[in-house]
């Protein structure tokens, strides 16, 4: 690893530690946001623009640095802002954070992985060129794949930044709206499991797989679809 990448890694670790320290223990927990909900609502009432910008910046930092708590912040956004305001803030903040995390992974790891596993990555790159957008869409919608892991893996591929951005934004939007809506009645939420039922998780998984399955079926039964 060259000196620039070493310095970048040190800066990332420093930013992670600083953000982690600034967010006191328990802040990004369900009980934590419930405890401070009224005080935060008062801040939003007195300084709505500054509160929105602060929330946006914190969300981007948490997402970009892969700090656990994005789901909790989404609930908080639903409790503090209207549904449309929360949707704009969370949707763009989460996508920006995810894109920054992906670019960090790409800068630090992609060249080494592409060289170390050249033969395997040829297959991966070909698959991503053909089905990359559908694959990312599926991963974003399937709850089994953690947010940070998708960012890390996509950074190892050659997917373009613009495509990564718009696919992520579209695919994460349904869950974002569901969590924001749940946050509007934050007091009734006792666990994150209360928000996404097994049936809803299954529905998200099917929705994520639909584009991939459809493309495969068209490619198999309609050869012209491959062109």
Q: Write down the pLDDT at residue 220.
A: 60
Q: Write down the pLDDT at residue 141.
A: 81
* 68 three-state secondary structure: coil
Distance CA 189, CA 150 (A): 27
Q: Write down the pLDDT at residue 227.
A: 46
Q: State the angle between helix axes of 70-80 and 83-105 in degrees (0 to 180), rounded to the nearest 10.
A: 160
Q: Write down the pLDDT at residue 96.
A: 97
Token reading at 115: 């060289």
Contact 136, 154 (CB under 8 A): yes
Q: Write down the pLDDT at residue 46.
A: 94
Which alpha helices (H) appear in 106-160, and where do they start and end?
Answer: 111-116, 118-141, 147-155
Distance CA 219, CA 49 (A): 49
Residue 107: half-sphere exposure toward Cβ, Cα within 13 Å: 16
For the entire predicted model, the pTM comes to 0.83
Give the list of residues 6+ apart from residue 41 with CB closer than 8 angstroms, or none: 79, 80
Distance CA 107, CA 8 (A): 9
Distance CA 166, CA 206 (A): 20
Q: Which helix (H) or strand (E) holds 8?
A: helix 3-22
Q: Write down the pLDDT at residue 80.
A: 95
Contact 163, 221 (CB under 8 A): no
Q: Write down the pLDDT at residue 197.
A: 62
Output the tens digit of pLDDT for each of the chain's 227 residues: 588 888 888 888 888 888 877 776 677 888 888 888 899 999 999 999 999 999 999 999 999 998 888 989 999 999 999 999 999 999 999 999 999 999 999 999 888 887 887 777 777 777 787 778 888 888 888 767 788 889 998 998 889 999 999 999 998 998 899 889 888 888 777 777 767 666 666 666 666 666 666 656 555 655 544 44
């Amino acid at each position: 690893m060259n000196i620039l990448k070493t310095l970048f890694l040190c800066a990332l670790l420093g930013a992670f530690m600083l953000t982690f320290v600034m967010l006191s223990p328990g802040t990004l927990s369900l009980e934590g946001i419930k405890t401070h909900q009224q005080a935060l609502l008062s801040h939003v009432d007195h300084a709505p623009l500054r509160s929105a910008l602060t929330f946006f910046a914190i969300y981007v930092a948490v997402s970009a640095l892969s700090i656990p708590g994005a789901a909790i912040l989404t609930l908080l956004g639903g409790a503090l802002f209207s549904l449309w305001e929360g949707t704009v803030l969370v949707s763009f903040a989460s996508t920006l954070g995810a894109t920054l995390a992906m670019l960090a992974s790409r800068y630090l790891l992609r060249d080494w992985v592409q060289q170390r596993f050249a033969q395997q990555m040829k297959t991966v790159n070909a698959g991503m060129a053909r089905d990359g957008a559908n694959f990312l869409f599926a991963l974003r919608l399937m709850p089994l794949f953690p947010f940070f892991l998708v960012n890390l893996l996509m950074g190892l591929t050659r997917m373009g930044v613009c495509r990564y951005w718009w696919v992520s934004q579209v695919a994460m939007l349904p869950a974002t709206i569901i969590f924001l809506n749940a946050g509007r009645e934050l007091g009734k939420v006792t666990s994150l499991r209360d928000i996404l039922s097994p049936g809803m998780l299954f529905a998200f998984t099917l929705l994520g797989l639909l584009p991939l399955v459809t493309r495969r079926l068209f490619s198999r039964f309609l050869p012209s679809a491959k062109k």
